[in-house]
Amino acid sequence: MYNMNNLFGLSETESKHLVNRYRYLLRTLRENTSKEDRALIRKAFNLASEAHKGMRRYSGDPYIYHPLEVAIICSEEIGLGTTSIVSALLHDVVEDTDYTLDDIRNHFGDKIASIVNGLTKISDFMEMAESNNTSAQAENFRKILITMADDVRVILIKLADRLHNMRTLQSMTPEKQQRIAAETSILFAPLAHRLGLYNIKSELEDLALKYNNPETYNEISSKIAETASERDAFIKEFLKPIIEKLNQTDLKYKITWRTKAISSIYRKMIEKQLDFEDIYDIFAIRIILDSTPENEKGDCWRVYSIITDVYTMNPERLRDWISVPKANGYESLHVTLMSDKGRWVEVQIRSERMDEIAEKGYAAHWKYKEHNGKTSTLDEWLNSIRNILENPNENALEFLDDLRFALFTDEIPVFTPKGKLLLLPKGSTVVDFAYAIHTDLGDHFIGAKVNHKLVPANTILKSGDQVDILTSETSRPSAEWLKFVKTTKAHNAIKTALHKEELAMVDYGQEIIERMFTQLKENYNEHLIQKFAKHLGYENNKQLYLAAAKGLLDVKKLKQFLQSQHTSTFSRLFKHSSTNKNTADNSQYIEIATDDNINAMDTNEPIKYVMSECCDPIIGDNLIGFFSNPHTLEIHRTNCTKFQEKAAVFGNRVTKVKWEENRPLEFKTSIGLEGRDRKGIVKDISRLISEEMNSNIRYFFLEVTEGTFSGEIKLYVNNIEHLKQLIEKIKTIDGVNKVYRKE
Ligand code: MN
């Protein structure tokens, strides 16, 4: 068929290897693959080989090895058909060679062109994500998943691509290895899990662990190898009586066993705080039945009945995914039995059909779907992912969190009063249930009955619960619910409802405060409002408006505040940051501390200091400050005529200033602290900061609850060393437990 010598410019050994692997690909094709399909695969292989001619991978291998291996994974391990195999062969052609998408369309048609286009787009996003910025990555993940939502084959091929890249990761640079391994465990392994591709998921996770945590990986894999023969002997002994009994029936079956993935053993060790030796289910036994679709369910339960006659089972660990399959289509019956040796053993019972779905996931699921006519919960899941993707308010990191949650969680089946089945993530509450049915039902939720009993809103649902939601027209979502809802849908709906309510409250509160100003015959002024909010200890104007809306403010407070503003005299120190202290540069401005009064009420707004051009003040001059606006202070010489003109008109804007000499530069920073409250602690802390460490405190806030305090200090330091010393010193104060720099 091919001339073995220098095929596509390859060496003889390379050509041989390539042809062997291509023949292997042909052997993995479905039996019913037509002549036309085979010709199309050949055509794609030829085009890809030609296009990647002369290109090599990091490992030095010819580039064409990669798309060919990806195609083999698609066919052999995922069970995909011709369209996907052709797309896999072509997946890097548009990205990396002179061929265009139009070329692909002309040769292979629209469908394959659109899949290749999706794969090319994903590569672009992945490259952008290389910036290493988490939120950028999350944003790119979102784009990747949007692409996926067009045709799930895009993501299946992408998973095959990623799997091959992970298998050949050793030739990459260590930085790339880390980045690619991290992406794999954050995005691709959960995706594979969700699509039911258990083998691929496990291999991806194992490979990611191998690069992210090589010591652990090597330790566990060598322990698995060391214990292999002992384990095999144990399993054979364990199975003997089961096989004897099964052979007395007419059931056609086979039994397999394998150790679980290294990554899943590792996860168990971490979660349950166990040593390798203490994990009992490092392997699982599978009894796979050759049964017809009509009989398979009954046959599985027959096996269940037989093996539980032989050994005692643990009812807590019985998992029936035959009656209610997992959302990704997984069906199986899991039983955990107590062996004669006093060791728990997990046995999975399933039919050949169920086994294929478990191994090949989504693709196999569709192959069988026509036979049983059931609608796919996987479709529903893909829809819910689309919902997450289309939520425009979500910030990228939150999105990633939601997504990881959506990808990882297992569902439990619950029922409506009319018996309609709903799959909800484990840990869902009755409020999640309400929102899962309809947003309106959640928004007006007032209570729920589970199995006819009235329960509180935070009640966590159990498998098989029947839930009846009670509503009231006037009832509204509560912020408390956010603490316990599990589903993204409920979370987002509650946030939206609360946000709407809050916006209305803020508007109302602002109106109230505006009216107070009118009442006091004062001009309403944003800057004043901001100072007023700070004065009362609110973080921002919005909080102030909310307080007003709730009736927590009265006009007296505002009046007092406004009076204090009129009488206060500004007295500020300032210093000049210019390196040349003799010529003041008018473009320079710096922030400095307020004077030595420790004033927690002061505005946090930085003030710009501008050396005015008209008189060019220098050190030694008598100085005066003039607020050209609330945030900008012009520095003049007292005898400057321009200043005098201005001061004559706007006398209230004049403020005293003086050079601050012989002081190093200072930087504003903020530290948080926690500890046990005691008398005098505030004095001790502030004395240490201002006297011993010679630092200016700008803001000092402590909140005490039940004998413990937490708080924040804003202050000025000369440099990072100064800050570190300060933190260490504060830690030595009796009662202080934790001191840290706030970001
Ligand atoms: Mn690739």
Q: How far apart are CA 373 and CA 381, in angstroms?
A: 18
Per-residue confidence (pLDDT) for residue 143, from 0 to 100: 67
Question: Residue 146 C-alpha to ligand 1 middle, in angstroms?
Answer: 19
271 CB burial (10 A radius; 0-12, 13-18, 19+): exposed
**C-beta separation of 28 from 72 below 8 A:** yes
Distance between CA atoms of 475 and 457, rounded to whole angstroms? Answer: 13
Task: Check if 277 is active-site.
Answer: no
Q: Token digits for 741?
A: 């720099």
Q: With beta carbons less than 8 A apart as the criterion, state whether 445 and 471 touch.
A: yes
Mapped onto helix, strand or coil, the DSSP state of residue 77 is helix
Ligand 1 centroid to 221 CA: how many Å? Answer: 28
Torsion sign across C-alpha atoms 398, 400, 402, 408: negative
CA of 197 to the centre of ligand 1 (A): 19
Domains and CATH numbers, the chain: 7-171 (1.10.3210.10), 221-377 (3.30.460.10), 410-485 (3.10.20.30), 496-563 (no CATH), 569-659 (no CATH), 667-741 (3.30.70.260)
Cα separation of 361 and 150, whole Å?
19
pLDDT of residue 203: 95
- Residue 591, pLDDT score: 32
Give the pLDDT of residue 584: 33
Task: Supply the DSSP symbol for 417.
Answer: T
Compute, in angstroms, the gap from residue 127 CA to the centroid of ligand 1: 12
CA–CA–CA angle 277, 408, 348 (5° rounding):
55
Q: From the first residue on, what is the mean pLDDT of each consecutive set of 10 residues in the chain (743 residues)? A: 61 91 93 90 94 89 95 91 94 88 93 90 69 53 66 86 94 82 81 82 93 89 91 93 94 92 87 80 91 92 94 87 80 91 90 87 59 51 59 54 61 80 85 93 92 89 87 87 88 87 84 83 76 85 85 82 57 30 31 30 52 64 72 74 70 65 57 86 84 77 79 77 85 89 72
How many angstroms is it from 404 CA to the middle of ligand 1?
24
How close is the Cα of 199 to the center of ligand 1, in Å? 20
Instruction: Report CA(453)–ligand 1 centroid distance (Å).
Output: 55
Ligand 1 centre to CA of 122 (Å) is 10
Long-range contacts (CB closer than 8 Å, 24 or more residues apart) made by 271-279: 276/219, 276/220, 276/223
643 CA distance to ligand 1 centroid (A)?
A: 70
pLDDT at 679: 81
At 691, list the tokens.
Answer: 């006297």
The alpha carbon of 170 and the centre of ligand 1 are apart by a number of angstroms equal to: 16
164: Cβ contacts below 8 Å, ≥ 6 apart:
66, 69, 70, 73
Residue in 37, 50, 95, 130 annotated catalytic: 95
Which residues have C-beta within 8 Å of that of residue 6, sequence separation ≥ 6?
A: 12, 15
- Annotated catalytic residue 596: no
Q: Which of 96, 219, 677, 684 is catalytic?
A: 96
The pLDDT value given to residue 620: 55
Q: How far apart are CA 670 and CA 665, in angstroms?
A: 17
- For ligand 1, the distance from its centroid to the CA atom of residue 91, given in whole angstroms, is 6
Ligand 1 centre and the CA of 67: distance in Å? 6
**Ligand 1 centre from 633 Cα, in Å?**
60
Q: What's the gap in Å between 92 CA and the centre of ligand 1? A: 6
Which sign does the torsion angle of CA 740, 397, 270, 463 carry? positive
Predicted TM-score (pTM) of the model is 0.57
3-state secondary structure of 737: strand
For 277, 382, 407, 450, the CA distances from 378, given in Å and listed in that order, are 37, 6, 12, 27
Contact criterion met (CB below 8 Å) for 677 and 704: yes
Q: How far is the CA of 40 from the centre of ligand 1 (A)?
A: 20
Q: Is-contact 369 88, C-beta < 8 A?
A: no
How far, in Å, is the centroid of ligand 1 from the Cα of 450?
Answer: 50
pLDDT at 577: 28
Q: How far is the CA of 7 from the centre of ligand 1 (A)?
A: 21
| 112 CA distance to ligand 1 middle (Å) | 16
Ligand 1 centroid distance, CA of 32 (Å): 28
